[in-house]
Amino acid sequence: HLELFDTLEKVNKLFGLGHVFPSLHSVFVTTPYDGGSLFEDFFRNLARSCPQVRKIGLSRRKFPGIDLPAGHEVQIDHHVLQNLCRIKGLEEFFLDHAWPVFISDEALVALISRFPRLRTLHLNPNPIYGVLPSTTFKVLGMISECCPWVENLALYLTPGDDGVHLKTTAPTEVLRN
């Protein structure tokens, strides 16, 4: 287990040095809202340096003396999250960030479908800025039907244009938790 508390730029440098941690199964990083979004490099370097990683936590927090950016310049969307696919065997993923994750229902289900061992997904359920996300309540039924292996789920959702209508034919294990 490894916990780091530094800028994402420095964490990327650490994992980009070519060191390999073959037995490391969990990595949790707390980083400030620094200027750039370096998530793609983070996932790529982590996959290369920690081939057995199963649990990832990424938390971007407000540090003293560092102001929160006012815009969406450190936005996380489906393009950024696609880089998670480099992490084979992912079982748990936790993300805390200032803004909602911008990913459609279909893209989120497609992403989760690529991780048959994923049991826990906490995808920024409590953003600091309450901007409406693109993920709707419909995704719960979709995940329940297409990805029944997911046991713990925390998302920031919007009712969407049609309101809340959940339809599922499979047992709602995801919804029960």
CA 151, chain centre distance (Å): 16
CB 101 within 8 A of CB 157: no
Q: Give CA–CA dist 55/94, Å, rounded.
A: 8
> What digits encode the pLDDT tens for the residues 86-135?
898 999 999 988 778 889 999 999 999 999 999 999 998 888 777 888 89
Q: Give CA–CA dist 29/144, Å, rounded.
A: 29
Q: Cβ atoms within 10 A of the Cβ of 121, count?
A: 24
66 falls in which pLDDT band (50, 70, 90)?
A: low
CB 150 within 8 A of CB 109: no
Helix 105-113 / helix 138-146 crossing angle, nearest 10 deg = 20
Q: How far is CA 151 from CA 81, 117, 157, in A?
A: 20, 11, 18
Using CB atoms within 10 A of its CB, is residue 117 exposed (0-12), middle (13-18) or buried (19+)? exposed
The two tokens of residue 168 are: 């599922």
Q: Give CA–CA dist 121/112, Å, rounded.
A: 9
177 falls in which pLDDT band (50, 70, 90)?
A: very low
Stretch 65-92: mean pLDDT: 77
